[in-house]
Chains A and B, each alone.
Chain A
Amino acid sequence: MQGKEAVVFKGYRGGVSVQVDRDAPFGQVVEELRRKLESARNFFHGGIVRIETGTRPPDVVEQRVLKELIRAHGLTIAGDGVDAELANREANGEAKGHGATPSGAPGGQSPPATHGGPGNERGAGEPADEPCLLVRRTLRSGQRLEFDGSVVVLGDVNPGAVIVCSGHAVVMGSLRGVVHAGARGDTRARVIAWRLQPTQLRIAHYISRPPDGEEPSPRGPEMALVHGERIEIEEFVP
């Protein structure tokens, strides 16, 4: 490394952006990226990454190498499996500050269930300026997605997979894993799934699980929401 860093990590709301120096030799870029990912393994694990190459020519092979390297460290790449919605988020979300507190380290500690409380002025009904992440794949056991905003999954959420988000969570498939919606304390957050069969559901500081010995077998889309002092599930009617 000659003084200038070829790879710079920059955190932003809900993700990390990897900025690649356009003049650096590719070998150096790969080496540096690998070293930085290694040294901060736990910090980044499970986070969402956006690669910015400045005006570096978008070389397909180079891009693929970088993406593989990032994926091998347990991160999700924005604009890949995860939609490029992320790219717009910074501009939309940053200044408005509708989250109660700034985002923590992506992939780090989830906001504990008891965290939160009020202090969140965002209404559950007006998602217009709420960042929303579109995930176009199935989340498998061991995969954890954290997002400051709402999440829509076009796929399943398998047992052992976890979604933690500050807004709503919508799963256009079977939700069999754990979802924590309204993780910053928003009790108005909802969890909607095509087939709602979660291991466990959390909304704000409420936790629920299906009763023992009963396999949930929903016949259609359902929605979980906080009603009174508990999470209730009802048929989802658009």
Chain B
Amino acid sequence: MAGRVIVITSGKGGVGKTTTTANLGAGLAALGRRVCLVDADIGLRNLDVVMGLENRIVYDLVEVVEGHARLRNALIKDKRLEGLFLLPAAQTREKDAVSPEQMRTLCAQLAEEFDYVLVDSPAGIEHGFRNAIAGAHEAIIVTTPEVAAVRDADRIIGLLEANDLPNPRLVINRLRPQMVRRGDMMDIDDVIEILAIDLLGVVPDDEAIIVATNRGEPIVISGRTKSAQAYRNIVRRIEGEDVPFMQLEEDGWVDRLRNLVGIGRKKTRGA
């Protein structure tokens, strides 16, 4: 059976597409799945850096589609996880070096060998985005709880529908429970109300992710933080498991007291 090709996209830049792709890929591989990550951000590649695999690159996606390199030679094996591979983007070329048709062929080829093909989309809605979605069967939208990011996510959902990729699922990234509680940040329900798509998970804002990303180690593999747990939960939901949303906020003594005396308060639902 052919594997699932999932595009990770957002519209807006800087919301965490690449970090999400790396962590979901590593998380799926940690469960024993065969996973190929595809960096579709040609000219601004990042996924190799986040995975800590930059120095292993010899051939790239563009060379493969142009027929200058064989797919099997361009795939980079992850240094930690069995069954995890990366097809890096070209850095010295431009997005139009690849066509959506070529991406479709490439993804179909990869889906024959892997259980999952995760395509990291570039920001924007232009050529690079159309390449990224061309071969996908499913889409995951990444957004942050900010008005601008949600607006772009909404635009993307519309474009995906128009391109026969209905029912994308949503990852809300970098949620800060304290800000939500103060009313300074959109909460999960606000985002869902606008986008009206299924929630795949919520990842809390976490400095540990920045550290892990800079080191080239996806936090999902061994991280003990809530963000790492959030990614692991998302991975299991992708696998079809019904994982309850975890609570993102630590109960302070005030909350415990409130619970004790029975004054309910809306809890921040979580990942």
Contacts and interface: CB of A to CB of B under 8 A. Distances in A.
Interface of A: 41-42, 45-46, 74, 109, 112-113, 141-144, 159-160, 162, 178, 199-200, 207, 209-210, 212
Contact of B55 (A46, A141, A200): A200
Interface string B56-99: 11110001001011000000000100000000000111101100
A142 B91 contact: yes
State the 10 A-B residue pairs at the shortest beta-carbon distance, nearest first. Answer: A144-B92, A209-B55, A199-B55, A200-B55, A160-B91, A142-B91, A109-B68, A142-B92, A199-B54, A162-B92
5 contacts: A46-B92, A113-B58, A142-B44, A178-B57, A200-B55
A142 B60 CA distance: 13
A209 B56 contact: yes
Nearest to A211: B55
A112 B67 CA distance: 12
Given A112-B69, A142-B43, A212-B79, A45 B56 contact: no
A14 B79 CA distance: 37
A178 B96 CA distance: 23
Contacts of A207: 58
B58 A109 contact: no
Interface residues of B, number: 21
Contacts of B43: 142
B92 A42 contact: no
Interface of B: 43-45, 52, 54-59, 63, 66, 68-69, 79, 91-94, 96-97
Contacts of B45: 160
B92 A210 contact: no
A46 B45 CA distance: 17
A143 B91 CA distance: 8
Main secondary structure of the interface of A (DSSP, over half): loop
Nearest to A201: B55
Contacts of B55: 199-200, 209-210
Contact of B91 (A112, A141, A200): A141
Given A142-B91, A160-B45, A160-B91, 16 more contacts: A41-B96, A42-B93, A42-B94, A42-B97, A45-B94, A74-B94, A109-B68, A112-B59, A141-B91, A162-B92, A199-B55, A200-B55, A209-B56, A210-B55, A212-B52, A212-B79
Which of B79, B94, B96 has its CB near the most chain A CB atoms (within 10 A)? B94
Contacts of B44: 142
A218 to B, nearest CB: 16
Nearest to A74: B94
B99 to A, nearest CB: 12
Nearest to A208: B55
B105 to A, nearest CB: 19
Nearest to A160: B91
A67 to B, nearest CB: 20
A100 B244 CA distance: 64
B68 A112 contact: yes
B97 to A, nearest CB: 6
A159 B69 contact: no
B54 A41 contact: no
B11 to A, nearest CB: 23
A135 B70 CA distance: 33
Nearest to B69: A112
A228 to B, nearest CB: 21
Nearest to B96: A41
Contacts of B58: 113, 207
